[in-house]
């Protein structure tokens, strides 16, 4: 089973609705601060449920949402069908985006579920679709030394601040016996050291730097901002 198949099935990534809402609200606020202008055309690649899409769409000209999981794509279409600024893409419409048409592309918590070859192809895709000077944001990159225990502690701290600590502790206990943990242990997640990520981006037409903080609650992970040159 691939990660794509896994996400299309039943899983419990969030411990409760408050966790899910706070997660997407925080991501939305942090991504909004990186939008280049109110006139920007933006692609959120691997967007998941994208609960903050309305908030982001208010701050740019057009927001494209793409998630490769059919179940999530269908949910996004239903949720944002009335929006004039949000466009949900399928595979064909993603590929059909004109070259050099985007001002910014976001890949948050995506690369860890791809092979290194797939990561390279995704960065090359971004280079083709972004304008010169356009911005690629890759977030939640896992360094090689960060393990599941580190991720669990980051969730506990987030839950304490967000008021869902007991639910998080129950969720972590359930995760120990979950399909996610077994799949993570069996297949692993793709990790990048800082020089590896910079090389991945720079060899495909980007000028890259590590951002001062990671987007989201887990500061053991990394965000990189890359400019198309």
Using the CB atoms, write b or e for 35-45: b if 16+ within 10 Å: beeeebbbbbb
- Residue 191, classified by CB atoms within 10 Å of its CB into exposed (0-12), middle (13-18) or buried (19+), is middle
pLDDT per residue of the chain (229 residues) written in tens, 0 to 9: 455 555 555 556 788 888 889 999 999 999 999 999 999 999 999 999 999 999 999 999 999 999 999 999 999 999 999 999 999 999 999 999 999 999 999 999 999 999 999 999 999 999 999 999 999 999 999 999 998 888 888 888 888 888 888 887 887 777 655 555 544 444 579 999 999 999 999 999 999 999 999 999 999 999 999 999 9
pLDDT tens, position by position, 78-119: 999 999 999 999 999 999 999 999 999 999 999 999 999 999
Of the CA atoms within 13 Å of residue 47, those in its CB half-sphere come to 31
End-to-end CA distance of the chain: 37
Domains and CATH numbers, the chain: 3-228 (3.40.50.150)
Please tell me the distance from the alpha carbon of residue 228 to that of residue 195, in angstroms, as a whole number: 18
């Amino acid at each position: 089973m691939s990660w794509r198949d896994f996400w299309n099935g039943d899983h419990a990534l969030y411990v409760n609705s408050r966790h899910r809402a706070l997660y997407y609200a925080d991501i939305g606020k942090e991504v909004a601060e990186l939008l280049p202008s109110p006139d920007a055309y933006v692609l959120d690649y691997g967007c998941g449920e994208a609960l903050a899409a309305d908030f982001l769409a208010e701050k740019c000209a057009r927001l494209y949402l793409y998630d490769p999981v059919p179940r999530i794509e269908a949910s996004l279409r239903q949720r944002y069908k009335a929006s004039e600024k949000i466009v949900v893409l399928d595979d064909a419409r993603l590929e059909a985006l004109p070259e050099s048409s985007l001002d910014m592309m976001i890949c948050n918590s995506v690369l860890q579920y791809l092979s290194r070859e797939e990561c390279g192809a995704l960065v090359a895709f971004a280079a083709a679709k972004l304008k010169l000077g356009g911005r690629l944001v890759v977030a939640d990159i896992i360094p090689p030394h960060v393990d599941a225990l580190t991720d669990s502690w980051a969730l506990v701290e987030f839950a304490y601040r967000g008021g869902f600590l007991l639910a998080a502790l129950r969720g972590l206990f359930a995760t120990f016996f979950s399909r996610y943990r077994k799949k993570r242990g069996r297949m692993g997640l793709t990790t990048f050291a800082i020089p590896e990520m910079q090389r991945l981006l720079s060899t495909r037409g980007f000028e890259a730097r590590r951002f001062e903080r990671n987007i989201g609650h887990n500061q053991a992970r990394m965000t990189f901002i890359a400019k198309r040159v």
